[in-house]
Amino acid sequence: MMGKKRKVMAAAAVCVVAVFAGVCAYISGGANGRGERKRTVRIGVAVYNEKDAYISDICMYLDDEIRKYEKGHPDVMIRREISDAGGSQQEQNNQIERFISLEYDLLLVNIVDRTNASVIIDSASAAKIPVVFFNREPVREDIFRKEGIYYEGSNAKESALLQAGIIADALEALPESVDRNGNGTVEFAMLEGESNHQDTLIRSEWVLKGLDKRGVPIRKVVGATANWERGQAKALVKQWMQEYPGEIELIICNNDDMAIGSVEALDEVGEEAVAVVGIDGVDEVQKLVEEGKVLGTVLCDTKLHAKALMEFIAAFAIEGTREDGVELLDGRYYMIPLRVVG
């Protein structure tokens, strides 16, 4: 009789433990509505500077894509952590080493210094963690350095040629919009990104080649590096308006953040007749295009970037290493389409 009583008590204790564990799993989100355990994948997102409007938009839309995926796949929970390097490659290396030590399933890296990718690649490859570099492209040799290394971004040359098209089309349709003194030559200033950045070099070179191809007469008044930052761009444009009064008709910006800084400077000094063009297509600049404060920009759609990164997460972190799950060029590159806004 005592043995039977002990068995009943033991069974009751097991039930209590099971119910308690089930409640804990439900509260912690460890199970879906059907009582099944969720599979958790961890994604480390390392960005060069979260204050960059373009990068901030990509991260915001990536969160939207993650939520949509989880809604359609209730058995999967995606935990993503964003680390901001604040422009320091050493800080980013340390952040990525932490992701690797915690055995994250996939790394999405917006690298600070494109020439430093080999350090990240070697560490991640040793841990068998795939890496997707995005927006800031490492040198091609590094992308092919190890297996499981990819790049997601857009074509810098194409974006520059489209930017040249914005200017050339404006000159044809409404000459005074970019040639306000009517002398037949567009006098311009150029704001460039980081001096050692591939996109800076390509965008600066090919926008001018594109204008030449379209037969647009141009004269460079002044130019400087503003490191993709609106604050630096704003300070430079205010300075230029004092140093070159009435000379600058157009400001060509390698990205939209610098275009925003240019508009802010022009507003403050009352030079609204100077045209501004950018590249990125961030929401803030699209509004400025609608308001007539920016001539145009090239949309490197942040929503498409986010969708592409989600494809990588699904293919490489959730479903395993499935290169057939992502449409790649040369087996390593995913390039999003571009279009003009303006």
Using a 10 angstrom Cβ sphere, with 0-12 exposed, 13-18 middle and 19 or more buried, the burial of residue 18 is exposed
Burial 157-192 (b: 16+ CB within 10 A, else e): ebbbbbbbbbbbbbbeeeeebbbbeeeeebbbbbbb
In a shared domain, residues 168 and 269: yes
In this structure, are 162 and 294 located in the same domain?
Answer: yes
Do residues 266 and 274 lie in contact, with contact meaning Cβ atoms separated by under 8 Å?
yes
pLDDT of residue 37: 64
pLDDT reading at 4 higher than 80: no
Shared domain for 233 and 316, answered yes or no, is no
Owning domain of residue 92: 39-154+302-341
Residue 319 lies in a domain: yes
Please check whether residue 27 lies inside any domain of the structure.
Answer: no
pLDDT of residue 324: 63
Q: What are phi and psi of 268, to 5 degrees?
A: -70, -35
pLDDT digits (tens, 9 = 90+) for 278-291: 999 999 999 999 99
Of the three residues 265, 283, 299, the one that is the final residue of a domain is 299
pLDDT in tens, 124-182: 999 999 999 999 999 999 999 999 999 999 999 999 999 999 999 999 999 999 999 99
Domain of 316, CATH number, reads 3.40.50.2300
Which ranges constitute the DSSP H helices of 108-220? 117-126, 140-143, 156-173, 198-213
Check residue 22 and give its pLDDT.
38
> Would you say residue 261 lies in a domain?
yes
In a domain, residue 7? The reply is no
Same domain, 148 and 248: no
CA distance 280 to 210: 18
Q: In this structure, is residue 143 part of a structural domain?
A: yes
Q: What percent of the chain has pLDDT over 90?
A: 82
Q: Please state the domain count of the chain.
A: 2
Does residue 89 share a domain with residue 76? yes
| Percent of the chain residues past pLDDT 70, beyond the cut | 88
Same domain, yes or no: 332 and 310: yes
My answer on whether 160 and 216 are in the same domain is: yes
**pLDDT tens, position by position, 29-77:** 444 444 456 799 999 999 999 988 899 999 999 999 999 999 999 999 9
Q: Are residues 170 and 291 in the same domain?
A: yes
Q: What span, in angstroms and rounded, lies between the C-alpha atoms of 324 and 168?
A: 40
Shared domain for 141 and 229, answered yes or no, is: no
Clarify whether residues 150 and 170 are in a common domain.
no
Residues 106 and 164 in one domain: no
pTM: 0.82
DSSP letters, 250-263, are EEEESSHHHHHHHH
Report if residue 1 sits inside a domain.
no
Domain-embedded: residue 211: yes
Residue in this structure with the two tokens 């099971």, named with its chain if needed = 18
One domain, residues 326 and 289 = no
Report the C-alpha gap between 81 and 65 in whole angstroms.
15
Mean pLDDT computed over 233-247: 97
pLDDT category at 198 given cuts 50, 70, 90 is confident
Report which of 85, 89, 81, 146 is spatially closest to residue 108, judged by C-alpha positions: 81
